[in-house]
Structure 1
Amino acid sequence: MLCRVSAHLFRQLARKQSTDASLILERSINRVQLLGRVGQDPVMRQVEGRNPVTIFSVATNEMWRSGEGESMSTGDVSQKTTWHRISVFKPGLRDVAYQYVKKGSRILVEGKLDYGEYVDKNNVRRQATTIIADNIVFLSDNVRDRS
């Protein structure tokens, strides 16, 4: 009992001190897992003064059944495909992705979600959502290689 009261008092004191500090550090999570097919062969780009990056796209599909009776055997099947831009900055993974990721391959990408802005060739400001990959799992051979 005394131990529990002491722990509670310590937590309150720590919370009070952390709110007084100008910088509050707390844990958060930004994790993404995508399982899908590669939409284009990767390209490697390098902006002057920065490390190169390998970029490709992955398609994920969501399917659902709608209509009367919404049972498994009746109703219309609908599908939505979502395209995701993948950027690989990690030096070893970046090179492996550039060499072995191929259009049509089935892969699992793990990473974090990143939002940014850029100015296109017409000087229009655009927003971009990107998955910054830190792991890629190759799940199958290229679709074109199947016979």
Structure 2
Amino acid sequence: MADSILILGGGFVGLFTALHLRQLQCSCPVILVDRSWSFVFKPLLYELLSSEVKLELICPTYDELLHNSGVTFVLGAVESIDLRQKQVQLNSGLQYSYRHLVMALGSTTGYLGTPGAEDHSFPFRAPDDVFALGQHLRNRLQLAAQTTAIAGANIAPSRPRA
């Protein structure tokens, strides 16, 4: 569809651009491409870590979010973009022509050149990151619970004097 609006990336910018274009009753077909089946509502990832909400609430599928919207969802990762020919090649072999291209591909975790930051921290951008951090915390708590004494320390609760 050479007359389409092709949106690469289904994060906040890509998803809301697609929905807004449909709300404006844009006459061009709108195609949203993302490499995942699900949107990730990142502001609530901490609630997934604390088990306050279920995964389905934070990561709804694009099929759910785009149902009856008129936006076509395509699962795939961008292999190449030819700006002169106005074509995008996906890793699946599919190729899309477009009239307008929206690039909303997101970002990666940045460590700002801080030595050791990548080796000693957890990214917090996706459900897998949340589960890895949760497992790490459970392992540390279990290890702490198994520790019966701290060498050379006499730790007792202190009470204020009357």
Query: Do these two structures clear the TM 0.5 threshold for a shared fold by scoring above it?
Result: no
TM-score by length of 2: 0.18
More strand per residue? 1
TM-score by length of 1: 0.19
